[in-house]
């Protein structure tokens, strides 16, 4: 196979720890991401990163696949029309959680 050409590529890194990156290739892949530093604790050195972005490509079947994602204190979370989604919680579980929250136990 021949190499895939990069049509566009840009990166920007700031002194405050924030950054931005994007690229597109001739085979239709596109990537965009950015991030910044976030204080996650009481001390100045308690710093974490928050990143978010998206990528897209064409599947072997010819469908455009797009994933939007975020990575933060809640972990990595990806969303896309092609990704499975958990079913809703049963009503009795929703009520139980509300009762626990109201009682200060959650």
Domain coverage including residue 85: 6-103
Dihedral sign from CA coordinates of 69, 73, 74, 75: positive
Global pTM value? 0.73
In a domain, 16, yes or no: yes
Over residues 48-57, the pLDDT tens digits come to 899 999 999 9
In a domain, 60, yes or no: yes
In this predicted structure, what is the pLDDT of residue 47? 85
Phi-psi region at 75: left, alpha or beta (left = phi > 0; alpha = psi -120 to 50): left
In this predicted structure, what is the pLDDT of residue 8? 97
| Start-end of H helices in 1-106 | 91-102
In a domain, 67, yes or no: yes
In a domain, 1, yes or no: no
In a domain, 31, yes or no: yes
In a domain, 85, yes or no: yes
In this predicted structure, what is the pLDDT of residue 74? 85
Q: Tally the domains of the chain.
A: 1
Are the CB atoms for 50 and 35 separated by under 8 Å? yes
In the chain, which residues have pLDDT < 70? Answer: none
In this predicted structure, what is the pLDDT of residue 46? 85
């Amino acid at each position: 196979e021949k190499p895939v050409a990069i049509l566009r590529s840009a990166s920007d890194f700031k002194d405050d720890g924030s950054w931005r990156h994007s690229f597109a290739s001739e085979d239709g892949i596109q990537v965009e991401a950015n991030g910044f530093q976030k204080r996650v604790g009481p001390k100045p050195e308690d710093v974490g990163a928050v990143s978010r972005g998206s990528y897209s490509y064409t599947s072997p079947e010819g469908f455009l696949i797009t994933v939007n994602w975020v990575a933060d204190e809640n972990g990595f979370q990806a969303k896309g029309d092609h990704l499975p989604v958990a079913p809703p919680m049963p009503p009795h579980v929703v009520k139980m959680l509300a009762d626990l929250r109201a009682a200060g136990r959650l």
